[in-house]
Structure 1
């Protein structure tokens, strides 16, 4: 198996020596996993920004082998998939967290939600927010804890990044994060990495989430990501606001709280992007901050 050139070129590896080493070992790691789990390759691999997914068969059953790089929380992902147990997510069949390997049901890796018109994609993602909102143990990290961590770090990171936004936007993000951190977020599950590229065409259900990140609390937590990953397809400000309104309506979440999360997550990802040398995503986040933080 050849590692796709498009995976090798992902920004993930720019500052990740361990990840680049893993890429050189990946064909051997895949071959070992095929032997261990009694699988045969069944086509060329797919990939996202970091993991590789190879269509495989076990007997006559079509499955998918996912290989994740060092540093990815494969055990946490497996816990999340077990909790949802196929409700809006891909089904997990086996896992070797030490090797970064998971065996999953086969979805259509060539048809992500990113291929659908942006309005349809936002509607599907908002519907999935509701579908994924199942009871979750209190030990799972809450969205309130996420907001609290942003309160503690925003100003320091903003200063270190050269004050990349107007100070009023930082103030708005801090106020929103404090409010979100101080409010009980409830006890239902939320995917903290929900966007079009992470949702594939399924068979049991029309669309299924892959690679979810489990949190407990506000289902609107990652609405900003829903928007910024499709922002170029929303050229006018009113287009962005219409997409936001649709998501709020379909997901059935409070508009003011959803606005606060868009502000907090946009500031957080803006700073993270600058810290990691990204260029496109910080521009997207600035646009959301201009719209929702004034």
Structure 2
């Protein structure tokens, strides 16, 4: 049986849940390998909520069963290898996916190169979406109604002018300028080097609407490495073929949204990055 890495066992998401699943994970991997005729061929890797077990030219990904697994499987089947990792098989009830084997994380590359790659991936994934995908407009409509209450509950953690600016652009963002497939979780840790394509996305979240939606995450995840935030914003805008003003509105709104969410969740570093990003943009 595999040995679950200590780093994975210590992930924050397991502090309050998942103990039973973690305890049964080695047996679950062994069982899934038996079902699919797989042989473990290398050390276990992991992210925040899943392990990845090399099995020859492919990998077995295991995460807690549930709606998130089902949604990821649907997203991978929708994009079918276009800018995303190939899905060969899935057992949603077991939280198992059999995936194409990739290599180096985009996080390992210089930030200029990473932002360039992420911008091109935003555009590559922008194909006609499925009709039932959640829209970026619906997300903003629901969340914008909560922002001021959350800001008050958190004892007004930043200047009201920043909040007002985000709330002012929110109604504009509820009217999408496009109806395209969007990956709602795009950043350097979720993109790995491939062979079919140079870089491929893993764990995508399938949305529809404005592809500018997750540009803020592209920036804030590597913000500490950027000497000129606006320059990197412009790189992404150029490579993704975005409208600059629309992109700026999305970055502003999403940064304020995540800033408040991060404070509510007890995060310390990401709210600081969001503050810097809103100030620069």
TM range (shorter): over 0.9
> Residues of 2 paired with 1:185 and 1:137: CA distance?
17
> Residues of 1 paired with 2:256 and 2:65: CA distance?
27
> Residues of 2 paired with 1:20 and 1:177: CA distance?
39
Whether the 8 Å contact between 1:136 and 1:189 is mirrored in structure 2 is yes
Q: Alignment partner of 1:40: what SS? A: coil
> Residues of 2 paired with 1:102 and 1:4: CA distance?
19
> Residues of 1 paired with 2:257 and 2:38: CA distance?
41
**Paired residue for 2:188, among 160, 179, 196?**
196
The corresponding residue for 2:142 is 149
Q: Are 1:274 and 2:267 counterparts?
A: no
Whether the 8 Å contact between 2:66 and 2:92 is mirrored in structure 1 is no
The corresponding residue for 1:228 is 220
Whether the 8 Å contact between 2:182 and 2:207 is mirrored in structure 1 is yes
Q: Are 1:140 and 2:133 counterparts?
A: yes
The corresponding residue for 1:29 is 28
- Aligned-residue CA RMSD (Å): 1.3
Q: Are 1:216 and 2:208 counterparts?
A: yes
The corresponding residue for 1:38 is 37
Give per-residue Cα distances to partners, 1:40-61, cap 9 Å, x unaligned: 101011111111111113xxxx
Whether the 8 Å contact between 1:194 and 1:222 is mirrored in structure 2 is yes
What are the within-5 Å matches in structure 2 for residues 114-133 of structure 1?
114-133=107-126
Q: Work out the number of aligned pairs and report it.
A: 280
> Residues of 2 paired with 1:71 and 1:189: CA distance?
23
Whether the 8 Å contact between 1:22 and 1:70 is mirrored in structure 2 is no
The runs of 5 or more residues in structure 2 that have no matched partner are: none
The corresponding residue for 1:9 is 10
Q: TM-score, normalised by structure 2?
A: 0.96
The corresponding residue for 1:284 is 273
> Residues of 1 paired with 2:19 and 2:212: CA distance?
34
Q: Alignment partner of 1:64: what SS? A: strand
> Residues of 1 paired with 2:99 and 2:3: CA distance?
21
The corresponding residue for 2:247 is 258
> Residues of 2 paired with 1:203 and 1:192: CA distance?
24
Which deviates more from structure 2 when the two are superposed, residues 62-71 or residues 95-104? 62-71
Q: TM-score, normalised by structure 1?
A: 0.92
